[in-house]
Structure 1
Amino acid sequence: MIRILIVDDQSMIRVGVRAILSSQDDMTVVGEAENGRAGVELYRRTLPDVVLMDVRMPVLDGLAAARALLGPERVEGHEPKVLMLTTFDLDDYIYEALRVGASGFLLKDSEPEDLLHAVRVVAGGEALLSPSVTRRLIENFVAARPRPSTGSTALNGLTDREREVLRLIALGMSNAEIAASLFIAEPTTKTHVSRILQKLSLRDRAQAVVFGYENGLVTPGSR
């Protein structure tokens, strides 16, 4: 059973999301909070598997709340998966949310089946990366930031194949798409991805995307 906490300042959003999630046999909503601070406090009491976190909220915004959940407020032995809820064009917090460890994001106007898919994906330990939207968001933010003159020395520990796989991850490709692009088996791709995350001390694919952009493996506008 996937235990879910909903954190959003709009009651209609909370009610709608709860209704969708509660209709599933493998999901249960353990609580709701109307701002980030209340969400952090409720997380510590309920220990959900997935936190659906609105980006823009009063008292404590979603970015600060996500940083707290994945950092100083994290309960030892428990690793929450944070899925950010965003209206896309207005939310310049998403890039930082991925950096602090959020597992992905979901547009608030997504279809119910997309919400259910997203929850299951992040609960299973994967990052939710919509290639087109994630790429567009990160490109916008990275383009506005100074890029280091040289890549991270951590890249030196990757093989040529691992660098190529990381580049394709940063472009938003799934394991199946990477396997097809490189003419390798999908299990081999999964092995490469696991080794990349381990070598670079990255939490998941979301942080790998950010790392790839920040270290010049891909640039804004790359395809």
Structure 2
Amino acid sequence: MGLFDNAELKEAKRNYKEEMKQLASKMKANGNIPGIAKWDDSLQVISIGPIGFSTIVKYNTIKEIEIIEDIKQISSTKVKGKEKRKGTFTRAAVGTLLMPGIGTLAGALTAKKESSGEKETTTSQQITKTIRLTRDDPFKSVLTFPYNSELEYKLQDILNRNSTSSIQKKENTELETSSPTNSSIADELRKLKGLLDDGVLTEEEFKIQKERLLQ
């Protein structure tokens, strides 16, 4: 049983890789961020990452985008012209934008500076941002990439379109379910005619019911 499962998994991975390879070869990019991403809106795919290390993502699989901020606080002490780093401490802040994200060094900001005789202590912050993308995928559902504002905008745009498309599909399905088809109307008319012929309905009742069906 285990051997069969393993063989099926390998086959599934081969098929998956082949599908991604074919999508990559079919791509005709109509937009790109040099060295970061390119996309084909007609094919509905985006390739994220540098050439040779990129990941193909289908638009309709994207479920969430998050912007992750990793904040590192660095404290250093300078004594008699020498600087000594006392230690670091980090914390993470997450901003959900309904789409995954990646990180990049945002900068260092001096937060605190203390002096005491020959000793001076400086505390600063370094912020690293990343984009974390969550998708429907059988092998890797979460992807992370270095932060880029243009990439964030494009992914958010794709996600918004996915949401709009889902709403439209739901509305169309509900409309199809609630609206009687031509064949169902014809069936009901035949039933009414049968009731009229059998004397169950009067001519006036038949006309009223018929008008209701045809409205």
Shorter-chain TM-score bucket reads under 0.3
Who wins on radius of gyration, i.e. which is larger? Answer: 2
Task: Report the TM-score when normalising by structure 2.
Answer: 0.21
More helix per residue:
1
More strand per residue:
2
Task: Report the TM-score when normalising by structure 1.
Answer: 0.20
